[in-house]
Chain A
């Protein structure tokens, strides 16, 4: 995370230094949004499996978006940042739905156990 911050900072600095020849303010904001989304996804997912692939893709696209900003490739930077943000959102959504699915399955299993216990007790 720190590394990516440094990279972003560096990228933004480069953009700033290059002055009016850089990408648009709108694209810079989109890149910043994608970075926030990646960080949030990282925090939400942690080391869990669900969403890990999408998070990795979000990180890669965010890095590519930063490179595009450096190259002043407006369209690539904008599109990669949008995709990185969507990847990060998908990662979070996947980890949330997997977590709820797991909780539901565990609860259903505990009910099965309760039922079996009750049957054993009543047949005793």
Chain B
């Protein structure tokens, strides 16, 4: 095709000035015109260049006639060149139509790819949210009207103190990882005690225990904006303070998980 075009250009430049002589061997311009006109005629998109193709046929027909009737070489060459040029223009119009079709198709494809990317992102966010739910479920968080509540029992703290025992680290690690993946999730940490000892002491102890869980999460990279901590003292028992087992249940830190996204209601807030 390229060689053909170069030949056409050379032929086109040379032809008009040529002298006429009786053609003994094939006329290059005519051969070229026959080849390229046949080529564009056979294109499935020939319709986009109907006028040029029609002009090309007409000139090629004239050239062929002149050739048969022994017409002047100069005339045959001229008609051949006109046919070739028209066929070349037709060819470019066909290429233009093809490129435009591809453009339209590619634009549709681009929209599809963009949509897929968005969907994947949504899915990834959903998976991340799911992983926190799974962690909480695995840690046996309870579904309550305040949100998902995970209780860290008394055994995870030193007796009468607020520092976490190493036994709590595995749980804290998992929570920190899940919270890091879900910056929209909020956790509210509440410390509780039993009724043994003075109210003031219990209030302070519950605050300190809540704070040490908060500090442990923040040490593991959780944003301070996701966590709030408070001490509730002895006022919110979940079991009787009359038995040892009940008192142990009452000594606890609760982590309440809520969603902090626009449009999501957080039932735990209304209780405060």
Where the two chains meet, the residues of A that have a C-beta atom closer than 8 Å to any C-beta of B are: 53, 57, 61, 64, 76, 79-80, 82-83, 86-87, 89-90, 93-94, 96-97, 100-101, 103-104, 107-108, 110-111, 114-115, 117-118, 121-122
Contacts and interface: CB of A to CB of B under 8 A. Distances in A.
Contacts of B100: 100, 104
B89 A114 contact: no
Nearest to B109: A111
A82 B75 CA distance: 14
B103 A103 contact: yes
Nearest to B99: A100
B81 interface: yes
Interface in B73-97: 78, 81-82, 85-86, 88-89, 92-93, 95-96
Contact of A97 (B16, B82, B99, B113): B99
Contacts of A53: 9
Interface of B: 9, 12-13, 16, 78, 81-82, 85-86, 88-89, 92-93, 95-96, 99-100, 102-103, 106-107, 109-110, 113-114, 116-117, 120-121, 124
A97 B93 contact: yes
Contacts of B16: 61, 64, 76, 79-80, 83
Contact of B102 (A83, A86, A104): A104
5 contacts: A90-B85, A93-B93, A97-B99, A108-B106, A115-B113
A101 B99 contact: yes
Given A121-B120, A122-B120, A107 B103 contact: yes
Contacts of B121: 121
Contacts of A97: 92-93, 95-96, 99
A100 B103 contact: yes
A78 to B, nearest CB: 10
B106 A57 contact: no
A103 B106 CA distance: 10
A82 B82 contact: yes
A87 B89 CA distance: 9
Closest 7 CB pairs of A and B: A93-B92, A100-B99, A86-B85, A97-B96, A97-B95, A104-B102, A107-B106
A104 B106 contact: yes
B12 A114 contact: no
A14 to B, nearest CB: 22
Contacts of A76: 16
Given A110-B110, A111-B106, A121-B120, A93 B13 contact: no
A90 B96 contact: no
A114 B106 contact: no
Nearest to B112: A111
Contact of B99 (A64, A83, A103): A103
Contacts of B110: 107, 110-111, 114
